Amino acid sequence: MFPTKVKRLLQLRHTLWGCASLKAPCSRLVLGIETSCDDTGAAVMDESGKILGESLHSQKEVHLRTGGIIPKVAQQLHRENIERVVQEALERSHVAPSRLSAVATTVKPGLGLSLGIGLDFSRRFVRQHNKPFIPIHHMEAHALTVRMLQPVPFPFLVLLVSGGHSLLAVARGVDDFLLLGHSLDEAPGDTMDKVARRLSLIKHPQCSTLSGGQALELLAKDGDRSRFPFRTPMGQTYDCCFSFAGLRNQVNMAIMKKEAEEGIEQGTLLSCVKDIAAATQHTVASHLAKRTHRAIVFCKENGMLPSSNPTLVLSGGVASNEYIRKTLSIITETTGLHLLCPPAKFCTDNGVMIAWNGVERLREGKGILPPNVDVCYEPKALLGVDMSAEVRAAAIRLPSVRIKIHN
Ligand code: KG4
Ligand code: ZN
């Protein structure tokens, strides 16, 4: 019926786009799977970034009750939920596995036991359905999520702050990052979770179901931060790395002092929790702001960002914090950058961001593996090329910026 050349073209189109009907324009579909920490997430997305179906199971309440994430418990909960979560995402999208063009799964960094569940499930799934596999770096996914919502051309500066990480990087391409700074000890979300736990905020009527960061943000709204003047970390280190362990120590000392003054035991709510929350949140925000300010100056001095409309993207679970967003907006206004933050539901972990990372990689043909290739998970994995030594060597002193935010 068709001349051979046309037939070949049609076959090629069919192979490239995995689409049965040639009439309707059809996009490739990616299933994204996330299990790197305490959320079991899955989503099906088309190539334009449209979410066709998603499902998310959060373990937050269990870990709140046990006073932190116990890796074995997280693993067991992922194991119990992964099949259902993936099934739900597929059903809600009305997409059969056979119609998928690829499966993208977080394989690094994260809790080994949690990553293992997502990876094992995905390995079986891609073999069973004979689908290409796209291993995903969790922080790359956080960094690229914003591009699912609006066109943000490379390069841009990105600050990623979550329960497991804090980093500043220049995103130059889907798989091309220059790392300017990262946490030397714990992550800001981890610090906020631990402070909230030390304050026993789970016993506070307004906070019992909130993550530590959410609880501190809520209480800080009515707190007076000036009652606890915590020192901003690393004031004498002129680089873009972060440290939060010292801040946690300062907060713990202040809590112990107050407990002694009020004559109460650890585990009882202090009368000044709101002030401690406000001071902790402010110090975290101000540390993030100073390191980001230096990263912006470094990028400008080295021509690493476009002169027209340079952008800072802020993402990761901690980026849902309004106070932190406002603090960073003061820095971007001062330095002439444009600040972009995905809405809170796309800042925290989910399957959607992994599916989008898969779409970005599929479009560029980067890191797409055949179904039978063996992939290992990596609990620790830096994002991109580490430039933190160069940033430190530049020893940039910053002009002071007044950070005053009304609650
Ligand atoms: O990105 P995410 O969902 O998981 C990780 O990859 O870690 O981030 C979770 C972290 C938790 O530490 C939580 O306390 C923090 O994000 N978080 C917040 C807020 N909402 C979540 N921190 C500060 N303010 C918030 N509103
Ligand atoms: Zn995350």
The yes-or-no verdict on residue 7 having pLDDT over 60 is: no
Tokens of 240: 């873009």
Distance 348 CA to ligand 2 centre (A): 6
Q: What residue's CA is closest to ligand 1, atom 21?
A: 317
Q: How confident is the model at residue 359 (pLDDT cuts 50, 70, 90)?
A: very high
> What value does the mean pLDDT take over residues 182-195?
97
E strands present in 174-218 = 176-182
Beta carbon of 37 within 6 Å of any ligand 1 atom: yes
pLDDT-wise least confident of 8-12, 163-167, 175-179, 217-221 = 8-12
E strands present in 101-155 = 102-108, 133-137
Question: How do beta strands 133-137 and 102-108 pair?
Answer: parallel
The yes-or-no verdict on residue 391 having pLDDT over 70 is: yes
**Interval 277-319: pLDDT, tens:** 999 999 999 999 999 999 999 999 999 999 999 999 999 999 9
Which of 66, 165, 58, 160 lies closest to 111 in space, CA to CA? 165
Query: What is the helix (H) or strand (E) element at residue 223, kind and residue range?
Result: none
Of the chain, the percentage scoring pLDDT greater than 90 comes to: 88
Beta carbon of 342 within 6 Å of any ligand 1 atom: no
pLDDT-wise least confident of 40-44, 60-64, 137-141, 370-374 = 60-64
Q: How confident is the model at residue 376 (pLDDT cuts 50, 70, 90)?
A: very high
Using the Cα atoms of residue 78, residue 81, residue 87 and residue 92 in order, give the sign of their dihedral. negative
Query: What is the helix (H) or strand (E) element at residue 68, kind and residue range?
Result: none
> What value does the mean pLDDT take over residues 151-168?
96
**Interval 16-65: pLDDT, tens:** 333 444 444 578 999 999 999 989 999 999 999 999 999 999 998 899 88
Query: What is the helix (H) or strand (E) element at residue 242, kind and residue range?
Result: none
Rounded Cα distance, 148 and 160, in Å: 16
Which residues have CB atoms below 5 A from the ion given as ligand 2? 162, 349
pLDDT of residue 407: 65
Mean pLDDT (the chain, rounded): 93
pLDDT of residue 303: 98
> What value does the mean pLDDT take over residues 204-219?
95
Distance 25 CA to ligand 2 centre (A): 34
Which of 124, 109, 42, 111 lies closest to 73 in space, CA to CA? 111
Beta carbon of 275 within 6 Å of any ligand 1 atom: no
pLDDT of residue 406: 74
Q: What are phi and psi of 355, to 5 degrees?
A: -60, -40
Rounded Cα distance, 32 and 328, in Å: 30
pLDDT-wise least confident of 63-77, 104-118, 173-187, 235-249 = 63-77
Q: For the chain, how big is the Rg over CA atoms in Å?
A: 23
pLDDT of residue 72: 94
The yes-or-no verdict on residue 12 having pLDDT over 70 is: no
Beta carbon of 192 within 6 Å of any ligand 1 atom: yes
Which of 202, 163, 187, 170 lies closest to 36 in space, CA to CA? 163
Rounded Cα distance, 168 and 290, in Å: 12
Beta carbon of 34 within 6 Å of any ligand 1 atom: no
Query: Exposure pattern of 248-268 as b/e (b: 16+ CB <10 Å)?
Result: bebbeebbeebeeeeeeeeee
Question: Is the pTM for the entire model greater than 0.85?
Answer: yes
What is the spatial order of strands in the sheet that 102-108 belongs to? 51-58, 39-46, 29-34, 102-108, 133-137
Out of 39, 108, 192, 314, give the residue to mutate to test ligand 1, the one with the largest number of ligand atoms within 8 Å of its CB: 192
Q: What's the Cα-to-Cα distance from 338 to each of 123, 154, 307, 391, 405, rounded to whole Å?
A: 40, 14, 12, 22, 19
What value, to the nearest 5°, has the Cα angle with vertex 46 and ends 44 and 49? Answer: 100
Q: How many CA atoms lie within 13 A of 7 on its CB side?
A: 4
pLDDT of residue 25: 53
Atom of ligand 1 nearest to the CA of 161: 1
Out of 61, 64, 162, 195, give the residue to mutate to test ligand 1, the one with the largest number of ligand atoms within 8 Å of its CB: 162
pLDDT of residue 68: 86
> What value does the mean pLDDT take over residues 335-356?
96
Dmax over CA atoms of the chain, in Å, equals 90
Question: How do beta strands 166-173 and 311-315 pair?
Answer: unpaired
Distance 256 CA to ligand 2 centre (A): 31
pLDDT of residue 23: 42
Out of 60, 111, 315, 348, give the residue to mutate to test ligand 1, the one with the largest number of ligand atoms within 8 Å of its CB: 348
Ligand nearest to the CA of 345: 1
CA 222 distance to own-chain centroid: 28
Which residues touch 31 (CB under 8 Å, ≥6 apart)?
A: 42, 43, 44, 86, 89, 90, 97, 100, 102, 103, 104, 125, 355, 358
The yes-or-no verdict on residue 91 having pLDDT over 70 is: yes
